[in-house]
Chain A
Amino acid sequence: MAIVLHIELDEGRAAFEPGARVSGTVAWLARVAPAGLELRLTWASYGPGGRDFKIANVISFDKPRAAERRPFTFTLPTAPYSFRGNLTSLVWKLQLVALPGEEKASVELTVAPDGEAIDVRTAAAGG
């Protein structure tokens, strides 16, 4: 099933404090209405052995039409934080998923104090 998926964040803002509200609009365009659509708030930690993945929250869009726009709002959890390390890193994403084919569009979010991912690669000296 060919489908165009789009996520737009309010004010184009993609960096947030933990616990903040994230809002925006999702849009999709297909020849036939998809069976379902979900917006997933996810995070994944990456390391040399692979990733740990977690879906933190889901919004299901009921009875989607073939082409539509719908608003959304999530409240972010207080943890974990987005970070970059020497060995591991953690990335938050919003994923718009069309069911059942699992076509996806995603937007990366930063979730950390001051809306800035913590970079411990520069903190190795102990500060």
Chain B
Amino acid sequence: MVRTELRPVSQSWLIDWLRRAFARPTPRARVIAPAVVNPGSSLEVEWWIWHDAPEVTLVTVSLVGTEVAHRRISARTGISVVTETRPFLTLELDRQAPEDGSPVASGHVEAMVPSRTIPTLVGRLNEIRWAVMVEASFKTVTILRQEFPIAVVGASG
């Protein structure tokens, strides 16, 4: 599988806002992995995280499969769309406690994508999404949660 630098889609706005409010630098993550994998195939992931502060005590990197359902609700104020998500698989790929004072942590791991799992599904209301998730925390507080989407596609033959 060809590996490429994956683009992150999200970080919790609340985490971002809190860190900005308290003038804390926001950690940044970078992930190189295949953008497309098959069930049962190997997934090789290289990751880095820069945290510019000695407060990151744990970094975890996981492969996460999530069910996503969008639902329109009407209320007196109008119609809005509510999105529910439910992870169905969290496969921990790496876990590190960065060295004291080190501004960067990194890793290179290889794992197998489960052979019996649901491939990526794109839909208007119901979806299956896959991502490499990088999380950094200080004790029990998450200070970075970044998703790097990948596609899991069924074997074509």
Contacts and interface: CB of A to CB of B under 8 A. Distances in A.
Contacts of B153: 79
- Closest 9 pairs between A and B when the two form their complex, measured CB to CB: A49-B71, A47-B69, A120-B88, A52-B123, A45-B126, A47-B126, A87-B67, A87-B86, A88-B126
A90 B92 CA distance: 27
Nearest to B116: A118
Contact of A78 (B86, B116, B154): B154
B156 A48 contact: no
Contacts of B88: 85-86, 120-121, 123-124
Contacts of B69: 47-49, 87-88
Given A48-B84, A78-B156, A127-B114, A120 B89 contact: yes
A46 interface: yes
Contact of A45 (B39, B72, B90, B123): B123
Interface string B65-93: 10111111000000000101110111110
Given A52-B124, A87-B85, A124-B88, 11 more contacts: A18-B155, A49-B69, A80-B119, A81-B154, A86-B67, A88-B126, A88-B128, A113-B115, A118-B117, A121-B88, A123-B116
Nearest to B63: A126
Nearest to B157: A19
A45 B125 contact: yes
B97 interface: no
> Interface residues of B toward A: which range?
35 or more
Interface residues of A, number: 29
25 contacts: A19-B156, A45-B125, A45-B126, A48-B84, A49-B126, A51-B125, A51-B126, A78-B156, A79-B153, A80-B119, A81-B119, A81-B154, A86-B67, A87-B84, A88-B67, A88-B127, A90-B121, A113-B154, A118-B118, A120-B88, A120-B89, A120-B117, A121-B88, A124-B88, A126-B90
Interface of A: 18-19, 45-52, 78-81, 83, 85-88, 90, 113-114, 118, 120-121, 123-124, 126-127
Residue among A48, A49, A51, A114 having the largest count of chain B Cβ atoms under 10 Å = A49
A47 B156 contact: no
A51 B70 CA distance: 10
Interface string B134-157: 000000000000000000011111
B89 A126 contact: yes
